[in-house]
Structure 1
Amino acid sequence: MPEPRKIKDLEELKALAHPLRQRILQHLGQHGPATSTVLAKALGESSGATSYHLRMLARHGFVEEVPERAQGRERWWRSPIKDLRYPLRSEQTPEMRALVDELNRTRLAADVETFTRLQLDSDSLGDWSDALPISRGTIRVTRAELAEFVEEYVRLLMRYARTPDEAPEGARVMRTRFFAFPASADPHPRSDPESDPESDVEFDVESDSGSDVGSELESGQG
Protein backbone atom coordinates (compact mmCIF):
# COMPACT_ATOMS: atom_id res chain seq x y z
CA MET A 1 0.00 0.00 0.00
CA PRO A 2 1.40 3.45 -0.90
CA GLU A 3 2.59 5.74 1.87
CA PRO A 4 -0.04 8.42 2.63
CA ARG A 5 0.81 11.92 1.39
CA LYS A 6 -0.20 14.43 4.05
CA ILE A 7 -0.94 18.05 3.23
CA LYS A 8 1.58 20.05 5.24
CA ASP A 9 0.31 23.61 5.45
CA LEU A 10 -2.20 26.23 4.33
CA GLU A 11 -0.24 27.01 1.15
CA GLU A 12 -0.51 23.42 -0.03
CA LEU A 13 -4.17 23.28 0.88
CA LYS A 14 -4.90 26.45 -1.08
CA ALA A 15 -3.00 25.06 -4.06
CA LEU A 16 -5.16 21.96 -3.97
CA ALA A 17 -8.47 23.70 -3.32
CA HIS A 18 -8.74 25.67 -6.57
CA PRO A 19 -11.82 24.36 -8.45
CA LEU A 20 -10.06 23.90 -11.80
CA ARG A 21 -7.15 22.10 -10.15
CA GLN A 22 -9.64 19.77 -8.51
CA ARG A 23 -11.13 19.00 -11.92
CA ILE A 24 -7.66 18.46 -13.40
CA LEU A 25 -6.74 15.98 -10.67
CA GLN A 26 -10.04 14.17 -11.04
CA HIS A 27 -9.54 13.85 -14.80
CA LEU A 28 -5.99 12.53 -14.38
CA GLY A 29 -7.18 10.04 -11.78
CA GLN A 30 -9.99 8.82 -14.01
CA HIS A 31 -8.38 8.88 -17.46
CA GLY A 32 -4.64 8.69 -16.79
CA PRO A 33 -1.85 10.98 -18.06
CA ALA A 34 -2.77 13.99 -20.19
CA THR A 35 -1.28 17.13 -21.70
CA SER A 36 -2.52 20.63 -20.99
CA THR A 37 -4.17 20.61 -24.43
CA VAL A 38 -5.99 17.34 -23.74
CA LEU A 39 -7.16 18.66 -20.39
CA ALA A 40 -8.29 21.95 -21.90
CA LYS A 41 -10.50 20.16 -24.43
CA ALA A 42 -11.91 17.78 -21.83
CA LEU A 43 -12.64 20.49 -19.25
CA GLY A 44 -13.73 23.28 -21.57
CA GLU A 45 -10.85 25.56 -20.61
CA SER A 46 -7.99 27.24 -22.45
CA SER A 47 -4.70 25.37 -22.72
CA GLY A 48 -3.02 28.39 -21.13
CA ALA A 49 -5.19 27.99 -18.03
CA THR A 50 -4.66 24.24 -17.71
CA SER A 51 -0.91 24.65 -18.31
CA TYR A 52 -0.67 27.25 -15.53
CA HIS A 53 -2.63 25.20 -13.03
CA LEU A 54 -0.64 22.06 -13.86
CA ARG A 55 2.54 23.96 -12.98
CA MET A 56 1.01 25.11 -9.70
CA LEU A 57 0.01 21.54 -8.84
CA ALA A 58 3.47 20.30 -9.82
CA ARG A 59 5.11 22.86 -7.52
CA HIS A 60 3.56 21.03 -4.57
CA GLY A 61 4.00 17.52 -5.94
CA PHE A 62 0.32 16.89 -6.69
CA VAL A 63 1.18 16.14 -10.34
CA GLU A 64 4.40 15.19 -12.10
CA GLU A 65 5.66 14.97 -15.66
CA VAL A 66 5.74 11.66 -17.53
CA PRO A 67 9.21 11.91 -19.15
CA GLU A 68 8.86 8.80 -21.29
CA ARG A 69 5.88 10.34 -23.10
CA ALA A 70 7.45 13.75 -23.77
CA GLN A 71 7.51 14.75 -27.44
CA GLY A 72 9.23 18.02 -28.24
CA ARG A 73 7.54 20.76 -26.23
CA GLU A 74 4.53 18.58 -25.44
CA ARG A 75 4.48 17.65 -21.75
CA TRP A 76 2.41 14.83 -20.31
CA TRP A 77 1.29 14.92 -16.69
CA ARG A 78 0.06 12.35 -14.20
CA SER A 79 -1.08 12.31 -10.60
CA PRO A 80 1.37 10.21 -8.54
CA ILE A 81 -0.57 10.36 -5.27
CA LYS A 82 -2.90 7.49 -4.38
CA ASP A 83 -3.60 8.38 -0.74
CA LEU A 84 -3.82 12.11 -0.03
CA ARG A 85 -4.73 13.15 3.51
CA TYR A 86 -5.62 16.34 5.30
CA PRO A 87 -3.92 17.06 8.63
CA LEU A 88 -5.78 15.87 11.70
CA ARG A 89 -8.42 18.33 12.81
CA SER A 90 -6.40 19.12 15.94
CA GLU A 91 -3.38 19.96 13.76
CA GLN A 92 -5.22 22.41 11.50
CA THR A 93 -4.96 26.17 11.94
CA PRO A 94 -8.27 28.09 11.99
CA GLU A 95 -7.64 29.11 8.36
CA MET A 96 -6.98 25.52 7.31
CA ARG A 97 -10.02 24.29 9.18
CA ALA A 98 -12.28 26.81 7.46
CA LEU A 99 -10.94 25.82 4.04
CA VAL A 100 -11.23 22.08 4.72
CA ASP A 101 -14.80 22.56 5.94
CA GLU A 102 -15.72 24.50 2.81
CA LEU A 103 -14.10 21.89 0.56
CA ASN A 104 -15.99 19.11 2.29
CA ARG A 105 -19.32 20.94 2.05
CA THR A 106 -18.83 21.74 -1.63
CA ARG A 107 -17.73 18.22 -2.55
CA LEU A 108 -20.49 16.53 -0.59
CA ALA A 109 -23.12 18.73 -2.23
CA ALA A 110 -21.72 17.89 -5.68
CA ASP A 111 -21.61 14.17 -4.84
CA VAL A 112 -25.23 14.18 -3.64
CA GLU A 113 -26.33 16.01 -6.79
CA THR A 114 -24.56 13.49 -9.03
CA PHE A 115 -25.87 10.54 -7.02
CA THR A 116 -29.46 11.82 -7.15
CA ARG A 117 -29.26 12.47 -10.88
CA LEU A 118 -27.95 8.98 -11.59
CA GLN A 119 -30.59 7.39 -9.37
CA LEU A 120 -33.29 9.07 -11.43
CA ASP A 121 -31.70 7.66 -14.58
CA SER A 122 -30.67 4.27 -13.16
CA ASP A 123 -32.44 2.35 -15.95
CA SER A 124 -29.81 3.62 -18.38
CA LEU A 125 -27.11 1.78 -16.39
CA GLY A 126 -28.38 -1.64 -17.47
CA ASP A 127 -26.94 -4.58 -15.54
CA TRP A 128 -24.72 -2.22 -13.53
CA SER A 129 -27.77 -0.93 -11.65
CA ASP A 130 -27.88 -4.27 -9.76
CA ALA A 131 -24.26 -3.93 -8.63
CA LEU A 132 -24.26 -0.39 -7.26
CA PRO A 133 -24.76 -0.22 -3.47
CA ILE A 134 -26.17 2.12 -0.90
CA SER A 135 -25.12 1.14 2.61
CA ARG A 136 -25.96 2.84 5.91
CA GLY A 137 -24.72 1.48 9.19
CA THR A 138 -24.44 2.20 12.89
CA ILE A 139 -21.49 1.00 14.95
CA ARG A 140 -20.28 1.66 18.49
CA VAL A 141 -16.52 2.13 18.59
CA THR A 142 -13.71 3.85 20.44
CA ARG A 143 -11.64 6.53 18.71
CA ALA A 144 -8.84 4.02 18.15
CA GLU A 145 -11.25 1.49 16.68
CA LEU A 146 -12.74 4.09 14.35
CA ALA A 147 -9.25 5.03 13.15
CA GLU A 148 -8.53 1.36 12.40
CA PHE A 149 -11.91 1.03 10.67
CA VAL A 150 -10.91 3.88 8.34
CA GLU A 151 -7.49 2.34 7.65
CA GLU A 152 -9.12 -0.98 6.76
CA TYR A 153 -11.38 0.86 4.35
CA VAL A 154 -8.38 2.60 2.78
CA ARG A 155 -6.54 -0.72 2.39
CA LEU A 156 -9.56 -2.21 0.62
CA LEU A 157 -9.86 0.84 -1.62
CA MET A 158 -6.19 0.66 -2.56
CA ARG A 159 -6.65 -2.93 -3.78
CA TYR A 160 -8.91 -1.61 -6.52
CA ALA A 161 -7.37 1.83 -7.17
CA ARG A 162 -5.99 0.77 -10.53
CA THR A 163 -4.86 2.82 -13.49
CA PRO A 164 -6.71 2.52 -16.82
CA ASP A 165 -3.94 0.20 -18.08
CA GLU A 166 -4.18 -2.04 -14.99
CA ALA A 167 -7.95 -2.45 -14.96
CA PRO A 168 -9.47 -5.66 -16.37
CA GLU A 169 -11.78 -5.70 -19.37
CA GLY A 170 -15.27 -4.57 -18.48
CA ALA A 171 -14.13 -2.35 -15.59
CA ARG A 172 -15.58 1.12 -15.24
CA VAL A 173 -14.68 4.03 -13.02
CA MET A 174 -16.68 4.15 -9.79
CA ARG A 175 -16.67 6.89 -7.19
CA THR A 176 -16.63 5.72 -3.57
CA ARG A 177 -17.36 7.95 -0.61
CA PHE A 178 -17.02 7.22 3.10
CA PHE A 179 -17.70 9.36 6.15
CA ALA A 180 -18.61 8.68 9.76
CA PHE A 181 -20.14 10.94 12.39
CA PRO A 182 -21.59 10.64 15.91
CA ALA A 183 -25.28 9.81 16.21
CA SER A 184 -27.15 12.97 17.21
CA ALA A 185 -28.63 11.22 20.24
CA ASP A 186 -25.21 10.06 21.44
CA PRO A 187 -22.70 12.87 20.71
CA HIS A 188 -20.33 11.96 23.54
CA PRO A 189 -18.69 8.69 24.63
CA ARG A 190 -19.91 6.96 27.74
CA SER A 191 -17.97 7.92 30.86
CA ASP A 192 -18.23 4.37 32.20
CA PRO A 193 -18.40 1.77 29.41
CA GLU A 194 -18.32 -1.01 32.01
CA SER A 195 -21.84 0.00 33.10
CA ASP A 196 -23.34 -1.11 29.79
CA PRO A 197 -22.62 -4.77 28.96
CA GLU A 198 -23.76 -4.24 25.35
CA SER A 199 -21.81 -1.03 24.75
CA ASP A 200 -19.31 -2.76 22.45
CA VAL A 201 -21.65 -4.92 20.39
CA GLU A 202 -24.14 -2.57 18.77
CA PHE A 203 -24.09 -2.90 14.98
CA ASP A 204 -26.73 -2.49 12.34
CA VAL A 205 -26.47 -2.13 8.60
CA GLU A 206 -28.93 -1.25 5.88
CA SER A 207 -28.05 -2.03 2.27
CA ASP A 208 -29.79 -1.45 -1.03
CA SER A 209 -29.02 -0.74 -4.68
CA GLY A 210 -28.08 2.75 -5.81
CA SER A 211 -25.63 4.51 -8.09
CA ASP A 212 -22.74 6.93 -8.62
CA VAL A 213 -19.60 6.95 -10.77
CA GLY A 214 -13.33 8.26 -10.12
CA SER A 215 -11.01 6.52 -8.03
CA GLU A 216 -9.06 9.18 -6.19
CA LEU A 217 -8.75 8.99 -2.44
CA GLU A 218 -8.60 11.90 -0.06
CA SER A 219 -9.13 11.55 3.64
CA GLY A 220 -8.70 13.51 6.80
CA GLN A 221 -10.38 15.14 9.71
CA GLY A 222 -12.91 17.40 8.05
Structure 2
Amino acid sequence: MKDDEAFVLDDPERLKALAHPMRRLMLRHLNVHGPATSTTLGELLDAKTGTTSYHLRQLEKYGFIEEIPERSTGRERWWRRADVPRDIRLPTPDQLASEDRPVLAEFHRIGMDEDRELFERFPAAYRRDPDWAKGSRGMGRMTKEEFARFYEEYIALLLKYSHRAEDAPPDARPLYIRLFALPADEDFA
Protein backbone atom coordinates (compact mmCIF):
# COMPACT_ATOMS: atom_id res chain seq x y z
CA MET A 1 0.00 0.00 0.00
CA LYS A 2 1.32 3.44 -0.93
CA ASP A 3 1.91 5.86 1.94
CA ASP A 4 -0.71 8.33 0.67
CA GLU A 5 -3.30 5.67 -0.16
CA ALA A 6 -6.44 5.63 2.00
CA PHE A 7 -6.71 2.68 4.38
CA VAL A 8 -10.12 1.90 5.86
CA LEU A 9 -9.86 0.52 9.38
CA ASP A 10 -12.82 -1.82 8.99
CA ASP A 11 -11.48 -4.79 10.96
CA PRO A 12 -13.54 -4.67 14.18
CA GLU A 13 -10.72 -6.20 16.25
CA ARG A 14 -8.17 -3.61 15.06
CA LEU A 15 -10.73 -0.86 15.63
CA LYS A 16 -11.40 -2.21 19.13
CA ALA A 17 -7.66 -2.13 19.86
CA LEU A 18 -7.74 1.63 19.22
CA ALA A 19 -11.00 2.23 21.09
CA HIS A 20 -9.22 2.32 24.44
CA PRO A 21 -8.15 5.61 26.04
CA MET A 22 -4.82 4.35 27.43
CA ARG A 23 -3.78 2.80 24.13
CA ARG A 24 -4.58 6.04 22.34
CA LEU A 25 -2.48 8.00 24.85
CA MET A 26 0.38 5.56 24.36
CA LEU A 27 0.18 5.87 20.58
CA ARG A 28 0.04 9.64 20.87
CA HIS A 29 3.17 9.64 23.03
CA LEU A 30 5.05 7.36 20.63
CA ASN A 31 3.93 9.50 17.70
CA VAL A 32 4.98 12.81 19.27
CA HIS A 33 8.00 11.85 21.38
CA GLY A 34 9.31 8.71 19.72
CA PRO A 35 10.27 5.33 21.20
CA ALA A 36 9.55 4.45 24.82
CA THR A 37 9.45 1.51 27.23
CA SER A 38 6.43 0.26 29.17
CA THR A 39 8.09 1.67 32.31
CA THR A 40 8.41 5.13 30.76
CA LEU A 41 4.81 5.05 29.55
CA GLY A 42 3.62 3.78 32.93
CA GLU A 43 5.28 6.69 34.71
CA LEU A 44 3.80 9.19 32.26
CA LEU A 45 0.31 7.71 32.43
CA ASP A 46 0.39 6.86 36.15
CA ALA A 47 -0.15 3.17 35.38
CA LYS A 48 1.56 -0.03 36.49
CA THR A 49 4.12 -1.50 34.13
CA GLY A 50 2.05 -4.69 33.81
CA THR A 51 -0.90 -2.63 32.59
CA THR A 52 1.16 -0.70 30.06
CA SER A 53 2.85 -3.91 28.89
CA TYR A 54 -0.54 -5.51 28.26
CA HIS A 55 -1.77 -2.54 26.23
CA LEU A 56 1.51 -2.37 24.28
CA ARG A 57 1.14 -6.05 23.38
CA GLN A 58 -2.41 -5.37 22.13
CA LEU A 59 -1.17 -2.50 19.97
CA GLU A 60 1.62 -4.73 18.65
CA LYS A 61 -0.79 -7.60 17.94
CA TYR A 62 -2.83 -5.38 15.62
CA GLY A 63 0.16 -3.79 13.90
CA PHE A 64 0.10 -0.27 15.36
CA ILE A 65 3.46 -0.49 17.15
CA GLU A 66 6.58 -2.64 16.97
CA GLU A 67 9.43 -3.55 19.25
CA ILE A 68 12.86 -2.09 18.53
CA PRO A 69 14.99 -5.24 18.95
CA GLU A 70 18.36 -3.50 18.65
CA ARG A 71 17.44 -1.18 21.52
CA SER A 72 15.74 -3.75 23.77
CA THR A 73 17.80 -5.56 26.39
CA GLY A 74 16.69 -8.23 28.85
CA ARG A 75 13.33 -7.27 30.28
CA GLU A 76 13.47 -3.72 28.95
CA ARG A 77 11.63 -3.60 25.64
CA TRP A 78 11.56 -0.44 23.54
CA TRP A 79 8.54 0.32 21.35
CA ARG A 80 7.91 2.61 18.40
CA ARG A 81 5.00 3.42 16.16
CA ALA A 82 4.81 0.92 13.30
CA ASP A 83 4.99 2.01 9.70
CA VAL A 84 1.26 2.36 9.11
CA PRO A 85 -0.48 4.33 6.35
CA ARG A 86 -0.87 8.02 7.11
CA ASP A 87 -4.41 8.18 5.68
CA ILE A 88 -6.36 5.88 7.99
CA ARG A 89 -10.11 6.22 7.67
CA LEU A 90 -12.93 4.80 9.69
CA PRO A 91 -15.72 2.72 8.21
CA THR A 92 -19.24 4.07 8.09
CA PRO A 93 -21.65 2.23 10.39
CA ASP A 94 -23.24 0.42 7.43
CA GLN A 95 -19.82 -1.07 6.56
CA LEU A 96 -19.77 -2.95 9.87
CA ALA A 97 -21.92 -5.76 11.17
CA SER A 98 -24.54 -4.45 13.61
CA GLU A 99 -22.78 -6.12 16.56
CA ASP A 100 -19.55 -4.25 15.72
CA ARG A 101 -21.09 -0.78 15.49
CA PRO A 102 -20.78 -0.07 19.24
CA VAL A 103 -16.98 -0.32 18.85
CA LEU A 104 -17.10 2.40 16.19
CA ALA A 105 -19.33 4.53 18.43
CA GLU A 106 -16.88 4.10 21.32
CA PHE A 107 -13.96 5.01 19.04
CA HIS A 108 -15.77 8.24 18.09
CA ARG A 109 -16.70 8.99 21.71
CA ILE A 110 -13.10 8.69 22.89
CA GLY A 111 -11.88 10.74 19.93
CA MET A 112 -14.35 13.53 20.67
CA ASP A 113 -13.26 13.57 24.33
CA GLU A 114 -9.67 14.01 23.12
CA ASP A 115 -10.73 16.74 20.70
CA ARG A 116 -12.66 18.63 23.42
CA GLU A 117 -9.51 18.61 25.54
CA LEU A 118 -7.47 19.99 22.62
CA PHE A 119 -10.12 22.61 21.93
CA GLU A 120 -9.88 23.78 25.56
CA ARG A 121 -6.07 24.03 25.27
CA PHE A 122 -6.23 26.14 22.11
CA PRO A 123 -6.58 29.66 23.63
CA ALA A 124 -3.47 29.22 25.83
CA ALA A 125 -1.48 27.78 22.91
CA TYR A 126 -2.55 30.73 20.75
CA ARG A 127 -1.48 33.25 23.42
CA ARG A 128 1.92 31.52 23.76
CA ASP A 129 2.71 31.45 20.05
CA PRO A 130 0.10 32.42 17.46
CA ASP A 131 2.44 31.33 14.67
CA TRP A 132 2.04 27.72 15.86
CA ALA A 133 -1.65 27.76 16.81
CA LYS A 134 -4.10 28.50 14.01
CA GLY A 135 -7.85 28.22 14.01
CA SER A 136 -10.55 28.64 11.45
CA ARG A 137 -14.29 28.58 11.67
CA GLY A 138 -16.50 28.90 8.69
CA MET A 139 -19.65 27.94 6.97
CA GLY A 140 -20.05 26.87 3.40
CA ARG A 141 -22.77 25.56 1.16
CA MET A 142 -21.85 22.47 -0.79
CA THR A 143 -23.52 19.58 -2.49
CA LYS A 144 -22.74 16.12 -1.18
CA GLU A 145 -20.41 15.56 -4.16
CA GLU A 146 -18.62 18.90 -3.59
CA PHE A 147 -18.24 18.11 0.09
CA ALA A 148 -16.72 14.70 -0.76
CA ARG A 149 -14.21 16.40 -3.11
CA PHE A 150 -13.44 19.06 -0.47
CA TYR A 151 -12.70 16.33 2.08
CA GLU A 152 -10.41 14.42 -0.31
CA GLU A 153 -8.52 17.60 -1.20
CA TYR A 154 -8.17 18.44 2.51
CA ILE A 155 -6.62 15.00 3.18
CA ALA A 156 -4.31 15.41 0.16
CA LEU A 157 -3.19 18.81 1.43
CA LEU A 158 -2.57 17.41 4.91
CA LEU A 159 -0.47 14.58 3.47
CA LYS A 160 1.42 16.97 1.18
CA TYR A 161 2.60 19.21 4.02
CA SER A 162 3.10 16.61 6.80
CA HIS A 163 6.21 14.56 7.34
CA ARG A 164 6.73 11.25 9.06
CA ALA A 165 8.85 11.78 12.18
CA GLU A 166 11.92 10.16 10.60
CA ASP A 167 11.69 12.39 7.49
CA ALA A 168 10.83 15.70 9.16
CA PRO A 169 13.15 18.70 8.90
CA PRO A 170 14.85 19.67 12.18
CA ASP A 171 12.54 22.65 12.75
CA ALA A 172 9.31 20.65 12.17
CA ARG A 173 6.98 20.23 15.14
CA PRO A 174 4.18 17.73 15.66
CA LEU A 175 0.79 19.45 15.31
CA TYR A 176 -2.71 18.36 16.19
CA ILE A 177 -4.86 19.08 13.14
CA ARG A 178 -8.61 18.51 13.19
CA LEU A 179 -11.34 18.92 10.63
CA PHE A 180 -14.92 18.20 11.41
CA ALA A 181 -18.00 19.28 9.57
CA LEU A 182 -21.69 18.71 10.09
CA PRO A 183 -24.91 20.05 8.62
CA ALA A 184 -25.81 23.51 9.95
CA ASP A 185 -29.49 23.27 8.99
CA GLU A 186 -30.13 20.67 11.70
CA ASP A 187 -29.32 23.11 14.55
CA PHE A 188 -32.92 23.93 15.36
CA ALA A 189 -34.69 20.89 14.02
Question: The TM-score by the shorter chain falls in which range?
Answer: 0.7 to 0.9
Q: What is residue 85 of structure 1 aligned with on the other side?
A: 89
Deviation at 1:152, TM superposition (A): 1.9
> Match of 2:183, SS?
coil
2:47 counterpart (36, 45, 48): 45
Instruction: State the structure with bigger RCO (CA 8 A, min sep 6), 1 or 2.
Output: 1
Alignment-mate amino acid for residue 100 of structure 2: M
Structure 2 stretches lacking a partner, 5+ long: none
CA contact (8 A) 1:66 1:78 kept: yes
Flag the 1:64–1:161 CA change in 2: closer, same or farther, 3 A: farther
Unaligned runs of 5+ in 1: 187-222
Indicate how the Cα distance of structure 1 residues 9 and 166 shifts in structure 2: closer, same or farther if over 3 A, else same: closer
Q: CA deviation at 1:176?
A: 0.6
1:121–1:141 Cα change, 3 Å: closer
1:60 & 1:113 partners in 2: Cα distance? Answer: 27
Overall identity of the aligned pairs, in %: 44
> Could you say which residue in structure 2 is the equivalent of 1:184?
185
Q: Which has the higher strand share?
A: 1
CA-CA distance at 1:58 after TM superposition: 1.2
Does the 8 Å contact 2:21/2:110 carry over to 1?
A: no
TM-score (norm 1): 0.69
**Are residues 1:106 and 2:107 paired?**
no
Q: Does structure 2 conserve the Cα–Cα contact (< 8 Å) formed by 1:31 and 1:164?
A: no
C-alpha RMSD of matched pairs (Å) = 2.6
Aligned counterparts, 1:102-141, within 5 A: 102-120=106-124, 122-123=126-127, 125=128, 128-141=129-142
**Structure with more of its chain in helix, by fraction:** 2
- Deviation per CA, 1:104-131, whole angstroms, max 9, x where unpaired? 23322332233224415643x1xx2244
Q: Is the 8 A contact 2:42 2:49 kept in 1?
A: yes
